A and B are shown apart, each in its own frame.
Chain A
Amino acid sequence: GAGVSQSPRYKVAKRGQDVALRCDPISGHVSLFWYQQALGQGPEFLTYFQNEAQLDKSGLPSDRFFAERPEGSVSTLKIQRTQQEDSAVYLCASSPIRDGLTEAFFGQGTRLTVV
């Protein structure tokens, strides 16, 4: 596809339910990022992959959050036992590595509402 694709666009989960959010990056992009954006805030870094390697997961808020990118392309962000504070828009971005420039291209996001 032409851009970063995320699914589902909207997800309503009952508290305690597990959810999985999918990101299809731009073909050929080696870097992939996950961000969490709460209402009225800027995107907060969660985790970062270079190909299949998860190089940084320092932003994951708890061990209930898990991300993977097993073949260096599609990535899944999984949240176990969702809590109300997990309600946010989850943004995925991908970036090419070219001469050290960094321009992340974002998907439309998945809006997660935990009720």
Chain B
Amino acid sequence: DQQVKQNSPSLSVQEGRISILNCDYTNSMFDYFLWYKKYPAEGPTFLISISSIKDKNEDGRFTVFLNKSAKHLSLHIVPSQPGDSAVYFCAASARGRDDKIIFGKGTRLHILP
């Protein structure tokens, strides 16, 4: 049973435009959400996070939006750059219970020139 779902395996976006990656979760105990970026042959690297007490967190070109009632979050990248081409993983944890982080299957983002 997938607790964190990324329904789009891949996404192609023109350079300079906005990239929007989506993520849904099923476990209402999740209270902390993270996005990781992964290049081939490397481990995932932390990108941005958001606590359930917020609905938006921004860091430079990256913004994460959280809609708790819909159990949905999204990562916006604007403007998209060629170096953003990678696999993006959505992840969630229930900090009130433990530090275990559950990952989605990832979305491969292609930035087109």
By a beta-carbon cutoff of 8 Å, the part of chain A in contact with chain B is 4, 31, 33, 35, 40-45, 48, 50, 55-56, 91, 93, 95, 97, 100-109
- Known contacts A102-B32, A102-B95, A102-B101, A43 near B44 by CB under 8 Å: yes
A57 CB to nearest chain B CB (Å): 11
Which residue of the partner chain, among A48, A91, A101, contacts B98 with CB atoms under 8 Å?
Answer: A48
A107 and chain B: residue at smallest CB distance: B43
Q: Which residues of B contact A4 (CB under 8 A)?
A: 43
A97 and chain B: residue at smallest CB distance: B99
Inter-chain contact A91/B43, CB cutoff 8 Å: yes
Which of A45, A93, A103: most chain B Cβ within 10 A? Answer: A103
B90 CB to nearest chain A CB (Å): 9
Inter-chain contact B100/A45, CB cutoff 8 Å: yes
Mask of B25-46 contacts with A, CB within 8 angstroms, 1/0: 0000000101010000111111
Mask of B87-107 contacts with A, CB within 8 angstroms, 1/0: 001000101001111111110
- Known contacts A42-B104, A45-B101, A100-B95, A108 near B42 by CB under 8 Å: yes
Which residue of the partner chain, among A50, A91, A100, A103, contacts B46 with CB atoms under 8 Å?
Answer: A103
Q: Which residues of B contact A91 (CB under 8 A)?
A: 43-44
Inter-chain contact A42/B103, CB cutoff 8 Å: yes
Inter-chain contact B44/A106, CB cutoff 8 Å: yes
Identify 14 new A-B residue pairs, CB closer than 8 A, beyond the known A42-B105, A103-B34.
A4-B43, A31-B99, A33-B99, A33-B100, A35-B103, A41-B106, A42-B4, A42-B103, A91-B44, A93-B101, A97-B99, A106-B36, A107-B43, A108-B43
Alpha-carbon distance A45/B77, docked complex (angstroms): 27
Alpha-carbon distance A102/B36, docked complex (angstroms): 13
